[in-house]
Amino acid sequence: MLLVYSDHYSYERVALFWMPHFRSLGVNVPVVLCANKSDPSANTSTEQVVEDEMLPVMAEFKEIDSCIRTSAREHHNINEVFFLCQKAVTDPIAPLFDSKESNLKATCVSALRRIFYLCDRDQDGYLNDKEIHDFQIKCFGKPLGDGDLYHIKQSIRKYSPDGVTDNGIRQEGFIMLNKIFAEKGRHETVWLILRTFHYTNSLSLQTSFLHPKFDVPPNTSAELSPAGYRFFVDLFLLHDKDSDGGLNNSELAALFAPTPGLPPSWLDSSFPSSTVSNEAGHITLQGWLAQWSMTTFFSPSTTLAYLAYLGFEPPSATPRASTTSALKLTKPRKRRKRATVERNVLLAYVLGGPSAGKSALLSAFLSRPFSPTYHPTIKPRTAVNSVELPGGKQCTLILEELGELEPAILENAAKLAACDILVYAYDSSDPDSFSHILALRSAYAHLDELPALYVALKADNDKTTQRSEVQPEEYTAAQGMPKPLHVSVTWGSVGELFVQIAEAAMWPAGAYPRGGEEEVDRTNLWIALGAVVAAGAAFVGIWRRLKY
Ligand SMILES: Nc1nc2c(ncn2[C@@H]2O[C@H](COP(=O)(O)OP(=O)(O)OP(=O)(O)O)[C@@H](O)[C@H]2O)c(=O)[nH]1
Ligand SMILES: [Mg+2]
């Protein structure tokens, strides 16, 4: 609303009639108050008018966004008055500044704090001259002129003597600078800053910025791209202030300061328990990268949102560039025996009966010390770590123990589609352990479509005969698969197992049960083998036919 007055009578009507009238109409829109007919020839000073007329009425009605003196006859301030009207709509003061309190609003302050944090590249708590320069270019597209920086610092100093030091502008100083802008009617400058950092008119981050479009087609998965890896490496190194190779609680809190906190999925899995930490329990760089690889695998949208919160900048500054350049999609995976899986992040479900040693295996994967106490697993739990394959290639392996959800997950096509390999685990010292695997395999015949690996756990204990219809070695032989690998988490050599799991996931030829595309060839091979082996095979063959 542009409310125009010109003389004492019409001025009085502003507060007595018009403003209350607008309120009674229930229209909550900004008002620009215009003192017209103030021809320069009129001998009242603007300061006087501002002081005597404008400030009192502005103090009374917070809807008044700004005031201006114009002269229609002399075309004085005419463009300006319409500019003010436009600005009142596009750059409203209300979300930024509380005129009653005479202070920036809390949401505005927290947005500015986040912006300060993102601009403080070296995280030393100060915007140094270079950082201010970069900020200026980013927001306003042009460098600061000679002396501008000095004047900025001077005006901060005037209101907040501690806001500037020799090291640069402190957070309070930066907030003060924006308060000065808002107070002096330069709130469009504050808006420009906020919008550069993707804030909406309600001071939340834009949805398209937090959740850019990123589809993961069937049979593909999302991984971090080299730029994404680099970002998370740099972020870790920047925040490991004491350079001890781990992020302690205060370092983590500082890192996550510009975000809503740790991702909910991390909290659910009592971060950092699902990944590598040092003796003090602090996540290491290796664990940090594994954790983000896992997050990206299960929920690319979470990684994208955090990349946005944490200030990831796409390598190319084109307008289309977005946080999605920190991610990449794998080639579609083909479930075929001879196909190589072109993924760097692999998911293994560890299946097996109660107390088989699955949780102990997950802990060993993270190099946690062995604990003899038994805590049955209820909720699914994961362990993620990097694994070095023969030849030096690195990959990230996620081991997931399904807990009580084992049956539900094995019935869920989407959950199985995400899985690269099944690890059938049993306790070789418990005669009743292998039967769980047989029961699973007969209940869920479709498990044959996934590559798998058999593992006999607790090899440090005496091996016992399984009270199942068939012994594990015979069973795997009948399946045309490698024998169960005997391991103990109490042995250092357990690390080999994780390499084997990752290898079998990546190159699954041989990890599929007999049948399907190669069945005929194998049968021929079996006939060619000696009578003893053939007899054994026949037994298992009959058993299988009865079973399925
Ligand atoms: N001696 C020995 N004991 C082990 C080994 N691995 C696990 N255990 C013990 O076996 C018990 C069960 O281990 P868990 O890892 O909890 O078994 P789980 O398969 O996760 O059991 P659920 O979660 O109930 O399905 C615990 O007391 C472990 O300490 C091993 O390699 N050697
Ligand atoms: Mg367990």
Does 96 score more than 90 pLDDT?
A: yes
Domain boundary among 143, 172, 204: 204
Same domain, 253 and 322: yes
Pair of tokens at residue 113: 């704090």
Rg over alpha carbons for the chain, rounded to the nearest Å, is: 34
Side-chain-facing half-sphere of 375: CA atoms under 13 Å: 8
CA distances for 186 relative to 151, 180, 190, 191, angstroms: 16, 8, 7, 9
400 in Cβ contact with 365 (< 8 Å): no
DSSP state of 453: E
Q: Give the model's pLDDT for residue 538.
A: 42
Averaged pLDDT, 203-209: 96
pLDDT at 317: 64
315 with 358, same domain: the answer is: no
pLDDT of residue 533: 41
pLDDT at 547 over 50: no
Domain region containing 478: 345-510
Residue spans of beta strands (DSSP E) within 25-102: 31-35, 64-69, 97-98
Residue 523 within a domain: no
- Is the confidence at residue 44, as pLDDT, over 90? no
Cβ-based neighbour number of residue 192 at 10 Å: 15
Q: Poorest-confidence range of 27-31, 76-80, 117-121?
A: 27-31
Q: Which two tokens stand for residue 84?
A: 């003010």
For residue 149, give the CATH number of its domain: 1.10.238.10
> What is the percentage of the chain residues whose pLDDT exceeds 70?
93
The CB of 461 under 6 Å from ligand 1? The reply is yes
Q: Is 429 in the pocket of ligand 1 (CB under 6 A)?
A: no
The predicted model gives 489-506 an average pLDDT of 96
CB of 363 sitting under 6 A from ligand 1: no
**Which atom of ligand 1 is least distant from the CA of 372?**
29
- Please report whether residue 453 resides in a domain: yes
Q: How much is the average pLDDT of 71-82?
A: 94
- Which atom of ligand 1 approaches the CA of 487 most closely? 31
Residue pair 345/396 in contact by the 8 Å Cβ criterion: yes
Distance CA 37, CA 23 (A): 27
Assess whether the C-beta atom of 179 lies below 6 angstroms from ligand 1.
no
> Do 192 and 279 fall within a single domain?
no
The pLDDT value given to residue 360? 98
Ligand 1 near 356 CB (within 6 A): yes
User: What gap in Å lies between CA 135 and CA 177, rounded to an integer?
Assistant: 14
Asked whether residue 364 falls in the same domain as residue 499, the answer is yes
Q: What is the mean pLDDT of residues 382-403?
A: 97
Nearest residue to 312 (alpha-carbon basis) of 199, 226, 227 = 227
Q: Which segment of 28-32, 201-205, 512-516 scores lowest on mean pLDDT? A: 512-516
- Helix (H, G, I), strand (E, B), or coil: what is residue 126? strand
What pLDDT sits at residue 372?
Answer: 96
Where is the domain boundary, 173, 204, 235?
204
Type of residue found at 38: S
pLDDT at 513 over 70: yes
- Going from the Cα of 465 to the center of ligand 2, the distance in angstroms, rounded, reads 23
Between these two residues, 89 and 533, which has the higher pLDDT value? Answer: 89
Report if residue 415 sits inside a domain.
Answer: yes
For 136-161, the pLDDT digits (tens) are: 999 999 999 879 999 999 999 999 99
**Nearest C-alpha to atom 21 of ligand 1 is from which residue?**
355
- 381 CB within 6 A, ligand 1: no
Residue 372 and residue 492 share a domain:
yes
Asked if 200 and 323 sit in the same domain, the reply is no
Q: Which residues pair with 385 in a beta bridge?
A: 397
Distance (angstroms) between ligand 2 centre and the Cα of 309 equals 35
Which of 264, 299, 329 marks a domain boundary? Answer: 329
Q: What are phi and psi of 152, to 5 degrees?
A: -60, -50
Residue 541 has pLDDT above 60, yes or no: no
Given ligand 1 and candidates 349, 350, 351, 355, which is best to mutate, with the most ligand atoms within 8 Å of its CB? 355
Query: Among 171-175, 197-201, 517-521, which stretch is predicted with the lowest mean pLDDT?
Result: 517-521
* HEC-encoded secondary structure of 426-452: EECCCCCCHHHHHHHHHHCHHHHHCCE
Distance (Å, whole) CA 437 – CA 356: 11
CA distance 500 to 505: 8
pLDDT score at 527: 37
| Residue 239 pLDDT grade (very low, low, confident, very high; cuts 50, 70, 90) | very high
In a shared domain, residues 350 and 396: yes
Instruction: Answer yes or no: is 547 within a domain.
Output: no
Residue 12 sits at φ, ψ, to 5 deg, of: -60, -35
223-236 pLDDT, tens digit each: 999 999 999 999 99
Q: Mean pLDDT over residues 157-173, rounded? A: 95
CATH number of the domain to which 68 belongs: 3.40.50.300
Any domain includes 533:
no
Is residue 528 included in any domain, yes or no?
A: no
Q: Is the pLDDT of residue 409 over 60?
A: yes
Does position 184 have pLDDT exceeding 90, yes or no?
no
The burial of 280, by beta-carbon neighbours within 10 Å (0-12 exposed, 13-18 middle, 19 or more buried), is given as exposed
Q: Are the CB atoms for 406 and 378 separated by under 8 Å?
A: no
Domain count, the chain: 4
Is 6 within a domain?
A: yes
- Regarding whether 472 and 363 lie in a shared domain, the answer is yes
Q: Is 170 in the pocket of ligand 1 (CB under 6 A)?
A: no
pTM: 0.86
Ligand number nearest to the C-alpha of 375: 1
> In this predicted model, what pLDDT tens digit does every residue of 336-377 receive, in sequence order?
777 889 999 999 999 999 999 999 999 999 999 999 999 999
* Token code pair at residue 215: 């589809």
**Residue 95 in 3-state DSSP?**
coil
Q: Which atom of ligand 1 is nearest to the CA of 488?
A: 31
Measured from the Cα of 491, ligand 1's closest atom is: 31
479: in domain: yes
Residue 516 has a pLDDT of: 53
- 3-class DSSP state of 249: helix
* Mean pLDDT of all residues belonging to the chain: 91
What strand order describes the sheet that includes 485-486? 381-388, 394-401, 345-351, 421-427, 452-457, 485-486
pLDDT-based confidence at 42, cuts 50/70/90?
low
Lowest-pLDDT choice from 27-31, 135-139, 500-504: 27-31
Cβ atoms within 10 Å, residue 190: 24
Phi-psi bin for 270: left (phi > 0), alpha (psi -120 to 50), beta? Answer: left
Q: Is the CB of 377 under 6 A from ligand 1?
A: yes
Which atom of ligand 1 lies at the shortest distance from residue 425's CA? Answer: 19
- Is the shortest distance between the CB of 343 and ligand 1 below 6 Å? no
* Mean pLDDT to the nearest integer, 291-301: 98
Tell me if 376 CB under 6 Å of ligand 1.
yes
What is the secondary structure of 307-366 as a DSSP string?
HHHTT---SS--TT--GGGGEEEPPPP---TTPPP--SEEEEEEE--TTSSHHHHHHHHT
pLDDT of amino acid 226? 96
Domain match, 251 and 308 both: yes
